[in-house]
Amino acid sequence: MIGTTVDTSIFGPRIGRWLYGLRAVRGLTVDDLATRSGLRPERVVEVEKGLGRPAGIDELGELLHAIDPALLCRLVEFASNLGAASNSIGDACDLSHLASRLVAAFGGVTSVATRDAVADLVETIAGTTIRHYHA
């Protein structure tokens, strides 16, 4: 059976830092996020710091939806694309690592046109086309 919690000893602090960053970029306070997500402010802080009981998938979904409703859809699409491009679990892990590197590097590229050009280049090399999202 697949569990519905995330092991915070492995992922909690990283997920928490990521959620904190998303919240901060959107200009939301802990109280704003708590109100939007239906979680207590103390629980939002626990999840962001990777403390307390493991964050449930339902809690993470509520937080992501409260921060940016379209974000969860983009994450599901990413996972679907990753799964479709993988031939094995090991391959999926390798691709996920490479995708993480690319996303981190893209954070330093401020030009949307440059990002699109790089994505177009990679898609051309691979012989695929993926829908483009613009914020």
Does 28 fall in a domain? yes
Indicate yes or no: pTM above 0.85: no
pLDDT at 6: 47
Q: Give tens-digit pLDDT for 96-118.
A: 878 878 877 877 888 889 988 98
- Do residue 17 and residue 49 come from a single domain? yes
Question: Do 47 and 59 form a contact (C-beta atoms < 8 A)?
Answer: yes
Which domain does 39 fall in, by range? 12-67
Q: Rounded to an integer, what distance in angstroms lies between the CA atom of residue 25 and that of residue 94? A: 29
For the chain, what is the domain count? Answer: 2
pLDDT band at 132 (very low <50, low <70, confident <90, very high): low
Percent of the chain at pLDDT > 70 equals 86
pLDDT at 1: 36
